[in-house]
Chains A and B, each alone.
Chain A
Amino acid sequence: MLSYDLVVVGGGPAGMAAALKAKECGVESIVILERAETLGGILQQCIHTGFGLHYFKEELSGPEYAHRFIRLVEENGIDVKTDTMVLGISGDNIVTAVSHDEGITEITAKAIVLAMGCRERPRGALIIAGTRAAGVMTAGTAQKYVNLNGYMPGKKVVILGSGDIGLIMARRMTLEGAQVKMVCELMPYSSGLSRNIVQCLEDFDIPLKLSCTVVKTHGKERLEGVTIAKVDRNRKPIPGTEEFVECDTLLLSVGLIPENELSRAMGIELDSVTGGPVVDESRMTTHTGVFACGNVLHVHDLVDYVTLESQTAGEGAANYILGKRGEPAYAQTKGIDGIRYVVPQRINTHCDRNVKLYFRVGQTYKNAKVYVECNDEVLVSRTRPKLTPGEMEDILLKKEEIGELSAGAELIVRLEVQP
């Protein structure tokens, strides 16, 4: 059996940043386990630019962003096992993995960072009626075919869902010569970044149809078209608004689901809204010594934020390994009145540092004020000109304010629309 101080599950941007930070904090023996043949995760197929604006203050492509970290991982002598899939983690932190070259490996770890990322919501979960023809796939699968394999999924395309991958693929497919007929979005707003709506749809005259969905697929062998319909406020299709759109491809960009099968099997408590583990400010889960960061924790809009969060987790894991962590006394966080979720879900009142609370709203708000309160007392408030579900927000809590909290206190994050 192998033994490492820190085992990082997943070698995407989250896993690499966590490993590097842990190393920087003094952890010597670290291994990253990655199921693909190379490090970098989904960034490797994101050949568009827009990565790194916050973290590196320059605009990089996905592979470029990944390579900066891959180089650092190599330079820092962090062990990497690619083509290696983790099958399970035992209660006492023994990681079982399988790989083509080494077979079954068991690794004991002092601490573990979960950085498995997320997956795309498939068609089945949407319950679209109609045939089971070829030509329906997730936007991310299409991205892989186009960017890594060099093949096109089709020529006439409808995209359901205006998540960022869907928007990026609308542009990508257009540049590759396909006709992207429209992007349909069930909600009255897009969940994608504003810059992507401008750069990927508006610049190419691709219509974005809000409050609209695909209700049926047509075609027996290959897709021949879809029926779209407008939806009402409860997101139910409105009879009489159906319209047939001829297409040979339907790409789905209808949500990302954190990949927490391993976490669930370990008995780690999951947040029903984020789909990721419940964590504290150091990103430690409810399983002592097991941390989580990146899209496995909650879905991020920008990889830059994934990197920052993962550094927090890497530092947390290092502190745990090096015995710098005292007994915690937790306060809980909770989002209400339009705040869908807050990460971290709990804060160690002894943590002695500033803590950023990350949150998302459930709809678009203009001129809203965000409050963090405890026992009806406002700790912080900030005014935001615009809040949208597509963009993650944060608010800073100073260490002095945290220090005054008592264990078991409830920190409420809420929102008030300004008149």
Chain B
Amino acid sequence: MFYDVAVIGAGVVGGLIARELSKFNIKTVLLEKCNDMAMGTTKANSAIVHAGFDSKPGSLKAQLNVKGSEAMESLCAKLAVPYKRTGSFVIAFGEEQLATLEELLERGKANGVKGLEIISRERLRQMEPNISSEALAALWAPTAALVSPYELNIAAVENAVVNGVEFRRNFDVVKIGRAADGAYELAPARGDNVRAKYIINAAGVESDDIAAMLGDTMCGKIIPRKGEYLLCDKNCGTLVSHIIFQCPNEMGKGVLVTPTVHGNLLIGPNAIDIEEKDDISTTMQGIHETLEKGRRSVPAVGTKDVITSFAGIRAHAKCDDFIIRRSEGSANAINVVGIESPGLSAAPAIAELVRSMFEEMAGELKPNPSFNPVRPTPVRFDVLDNEQRRRLIEKDKAYGRIICRCESVTEGEILDAIRAPAGAVDVDGVKRRTRAGMGRCQGGFCGSKVVEILARELGVEIDQITKFGGGSLILSGKSK
């Protein structure tokens, strides 16, 4: 197949880049190594839109964070993605950390972050009654927000596909060659090659490997930096109403405690540099460390409230900044490397920056006359009132059958998720799109029903259904 552009990596950055490119009359393919989008760093992070005071003034991280954060709310509205502006605190525990708050305040001002101020212990406790009594003061950033990263990612890809982008799953680029006409020849681990005139490398923790295939060494190797998280039951989702950071350290922004956009409570991450890029295993030590650090901010958080733990990998670059540059080793490619925090916050701005770089590279582009920036709002039975529910079920009875009890997800919503453009093809894909299995029983009741629905819709036996593609089969075969 021949395309104008191949975007490698369907994380939130690759997804939003593909959507940006779908505004033009070019043929774009989005290549994803895994069985679904949002399977790397996008899947497991703090789900925060940072205000933008952390990064060094003048750095790409600083510029794009502030810009991305400003664009996020309207983007989420267009793409029907949960977003909630709560504001954030950085809390100071000792006298010496008060100086850190001042430093962050100054940095934030230099970065153009609006509304920053240092608030007293009294005001902090008034705004956040469950905060530790050890917190002496806080930096208040009213523009920080909560967002659902994987839903933003899914929405971006769906919208890109509706606007003409082709999405290819399980396309693990292992080699990039050049054809006689100068086009790139992208070879996957399995299956047929894809040809494209241009490449945009948004491969996350593997972006250095793709860069190397393009002949670029960029800023050295990506260091996979693991972070472990704990997700707590919705019954403690109201313990705090803002994002609560501790003072940053050399490994990152430290452990935060935050409500999620869906009303759970999230604690994490710690930060450990690891060897393997796909090692998302958790450790006992890490889980306990994370919980202890979280408790330092909000002592009321308890072990028994934890409904699941998980780990994510950040794509850390040695130079400690995003690297978004035209390829040096290969003329028609752009590398987007080292996108770690605040990568999610910056993602809309990264996509715009890449689009303008692409326009420079490819010359003037014709707009796509049928581009539709809006993604239809998915049905969320749980948040509807009974009148709305009644009307919905009148239209389609599948919305009257609850599959996931904990999150009140109906069969209709699961069918929508599977039948959507670039829809779900595995159990975790259904979970990320609908929340089925994300509640307190973690799929105990609905798991087997989701498997049955997937098998029916995809036209396969239920023992062919996977948790997340590849060899992650749920069942081993028929019984005797």
Interface residues in chain A, defined as those with a beta carbon under 8 Å from any beta carbon in chain B = 35, 83, 85, 87, 96, 98-104, 106, 119-120, 122-125, 127, 129-135, 137-138, 140-141, 144-146, 149-155, 175-177, 215-217, 220-222, 237, 248-249, 259, 261
Within the complex, which residue of B398, B442, B462 is in contact with A124, where a contact is CB–CB below 8 Å? B442
Beta-carbon contact of A98 and B441 below 8 Å:
no
Beta-carbon contact of A152 and B475 below 8 Å:
yes
Q: A124-B308, A127-B306, A175-B480 are in contact. List 14 more A-B contacts (CB 8 A).
A: A85-B402, A96-B386, A98-B389, A103-B393, A120-B441, A124-B231, A124-B307, A131-B280, A134-B467, A145-B475, A151-B476, A152-B476, A221-B471, A221-B472
Beta-carbon contact of B480 and A98 below 8 Å:
no
Residues of chain B with a CB closer than 8 A to A120's CB: 441, 444
Q: How many angstroms between the C-alpha atoms of A133 and B401 in the bound complex?
A: 29
Residues of chain B with a CB closer than 8 A to A87's CB: 408
Residues of chain A with a CB closer than 8 A to B307's CB: 122, 124-125
Within the complex, which residue of B303, B473, B478 is in contact with A150, where a contact is CB–CB below 8 Å? B478
Residues of chain B with a CB closer than 8 A to A85's CB: 401-402, 405
A35 touching B402 in the complex, CB below 8 Å, given contacts A149-B462, A151-B479 = yes
Beta-carbon contact of B479 and A134 below 8 Å:
no
Shortest beta-carbon distance from B304 to chain A in Å: 8
Residues of chain A with a CB closer than 8 A to B466's CB: 134
Within the complex, which residue of A102, A104, A138 is in contact with B444, where a contact is CB–CB below 8 Å? A138
Chain B 426-466, CB within 8 Å of chain A: the 1/0 string? 00000000000000111111011000100000000011001
Beta-carbon contact of A98 and B402 below 8 Å:
yes
Beta-carbon contact of B280 and A104 below 8 Å:
no
Residues of chain B with a CB closer than 8 A to A83's CB: 401
Q: How many angstroms between the C-alpha atoms of A131 and B44 in the bound complex?
A: 13
Beta-carbon contact of B479 and A133 below 8 Å:
no
Beta-carbon contact of A133 and B284 below 8 Å:
no
Q: How many angstroms between the C-alpha atoms of A286 and B475 in the bound complex?
A: 44
The closest CB in chain A to the CB of B385 belongs to: A104
Residues of chain B with a CB closer than 8 A to A140's CB: 444
Beta-carbon contact of B287 and A104 below 8 Å:
no
Q: How many angstroms between the C-alpha atoms of A119 and B440 in the bound complex?
A: 10
A151 touching B475 in the complex, CB below 8 Å, given contacts A35-B402, A103-B393, A177-B480 = yes
Shortest beta-carbon distance from B341 to chain A in Å: 22
Beta-carbon contact of B287 and A154 below 8 Å:
no
Chain B 286-327, CB within 8 Å of chain A: the 1/0 string? 110000000000000001101111100000000000000000
Beta-carbon contact of A100 and B400 below 8 Å:
yes
Beta-carbon contact of A151 and B462 below 8 Å:
yes
- For window 389-423 of B, CB contacts with A under 8 Å fall at 389-390, 393-394, 397-398, 400-402, 405-406, 408, 411
Q: How many angstroms between the C-alpha atoms of A130 and B400 in the bound complex?
A: 38
Q: Does B59 contact A (CB under 8 A)?
A: no
Residues of chain A with a CB closer than 8 A to B370's CB: none
Beta-carbon contact of B280 and A221 below 8 Å:
no
Q: How many angstroms between the C-alpha atoms of A167 and B309 in the bound complex?
A: 27
Q: How many angstroms between the C-alpha atoms of A146 and B308 in the bound complex?
A: 26
Which among B467, B468, B479 has the greatest number of chain A C-beta atoms within 10 A?
Answer: B479
Within the complex, which residue of B286, B390, B474, B475 is in contact with A103, where a contact is CB–CB below 8 Å? B390
Q: How many angstroms between the C-alpha atoms of A175 and B480 in the bound complex?
A: 9
Within the complex, which residue of B278, B393, B445 is in contact with A98, where a contact is CB–CB below 8 Å? B393
Shortest beta-carbon distance from B469 to chain A in Å: 8
Beta-carbon contact of B480 and A134 below 8 Å:
no
A153 touching B444 in the complex, CB below 8 Å, given contacts A104-B393, A134-B467, A176-B479 = no
Beta-carbon contact of B447 and A141 below 8 Å:
yes
Q: Does B282 contact A (CB under 8 A)?
A: yes
- The 7 A-B residue pairs with the shortest CB-CB distance in the complex, in nearest-first order: A124-B308, A122-B442, A221-B471, A134-B467, A103-B393, A134-B472, A85-B402
Q: How many angstroms between the C-alpha atoms of A352 and B339 in the bound complex?
A: 73
Beta-carbon contact of A123 and B448 below 8 Å:
no
Residues of chain A with a CB closer than 8 A to B389's CB: 98, 103-104
Shortest beta-carbon distance from B435 to chain A in Å: 15
- For window 230-276 of B, CB contacts with A under 8 Å fall at 231
Q: How many angstroms between the C-alpha atoms of A127 and B230 in the bound complex?
A: 9
Q: 22 A-B pairs, CB-CB below 8 angstroms?
A: A99-B400, A100-B397, A100-B398, A104-B386, A119-B444, A124-B442, A125-B307, A125-B442, A127-B287, A129-B281, A129-B283, A129-B287, A130-B282, A134-B467, A135-B474, A151-B479, A152-B477, A153-B475, A154-B476, A176-B480, A221-B471, A222-B472
Within the complex, which residue of B283, B401, B406 is in contact with A99, where a contact is CB–CB below 8 Å? B401
A151 touching B463 in the complex, CB below 8 Å, given contacts A103-B393, A129-B283, A130-B281 = yes
Residues of chain B with a CB closer than 8 A to A122's CB: 307-308, 440-444
Residues of chain B with a CB closer than 8 A to A135's CB: 474
Q: Does B363 contact A (CB under 8 A)?
A: no
Beta-carbon contact of B390 and A132 below 8 Å:
no
Beta-carbon contact of A149 and B281 below 8 Å:
no
Residues of chain A with a CB closer than 8 A to B408's CB: 87
Within the complex, which residue of B390, B442, B447, B478 is in contact with A151, where a contact is CB–CB below 8 Å? B478
Residues of chain B with a CB closer than 8 A to A249's CB: 476
Within the complex, which residue of B280, B283, B303, B479 is in contact with A152, where a contact is CB–CB below 8 Å? B479
Q: How many angstroms between the C-alpha atoms of A216 and B441 in the bound complex?
A: 20
Residues of chain A with a CB closer than 8 A to B452's CB: 149
Residues of chain A with a CB closer than 8 A to B58's CB: none
Beta-carbon contact of B447 and A137 below 8 Å:
yes
Q: Does B470 contact A (CB under 8 A)?
A: yes
Residues of chain A with a CB closer than 8 A to B445's CB: 119
Beta-carbon contact of B475 and A132 below 8 Å:
no
Q: How many angstroms between the C-alpha atoms of A81 and B281 in the bound complex?
A: 44
Beta-carbon contact of B281 and A131 below 8 Å:
yes
A125 touching B471 in the complex, CB below 8 Å, given contacts A145-B448, A149-B462 = no
Q: How many angstroms between the C-alpha atoms of A155 and B304 in the bound complex?
A: 32
Q: How many angstroms between the C-alpha atoms of A180 and B437 in the bound complex?
A: 27
Within the complex, which residue of A104, A127, A152 is in contact with B390, where a contact is CB–CB below 8 Å? A104
Q: How many angstroms between the C-alpha atoms of A131 and B278 in the bound complex?
A: 10
Q: How many angstroms between the C-alpha atoms of A119 and B439 in the bound complex?
A: 12
Shortest beta-carbon distance from A261 to chain B in Å: 8
Shortest beta-carbon distance from B131 to chain A in Å: 25
Q: How many angstroms between the C-alpha atoms of A146 and B476 in the bound complex?
A: 11
Residues of chain A with a CB closer than 8 A to B287's CB: 127, 129
Beta-carbon contact of B306 and A125 below 8 Å:
yes
Residues of chain A with a CB closer than 8 A to B440's CB: 122
The closest CB in chain A to the CB of B400 belongs to: A100
The closest CB in chain A to the CB of B477 belongs to: A152
Q: How many angstroms between the C-alpha atoms of A176 and B480 in the bound complex?
A: 6
Shortest beta-carbon distance from B400 to chain A in Å: 5
Chain B 329-358, CB within 8 Å of chain A: the 1/0 string? 000000000000000000000000000000
Which among B390, B440, B444 has the greatest number of chain A C-beta atoms within 10 A?
Answer: B444
Beta-carbon contact of A151 and B477 below 8 Å:
yes
Which among A101, A132, A248 has the greatest number of chain B C-beta atoms within 10 A?
Answer: A132
Residues of chain B with a CB closer than 8 A to A149's CB: 448, 452, 462
Q: How many angstroms between the C-alpha atoms of A259 and B441 in the bound complex?
A: 10
A153 touching B476 in the complex, CB below 8 Å, given contacts A35-B402, A104-B390, A119-B444 = yes
Residues of chain A with a CB closer than 8 A to B462's CB: 149, 151
Beta-carbon contact of A248 and B280 below 8 Å:
no
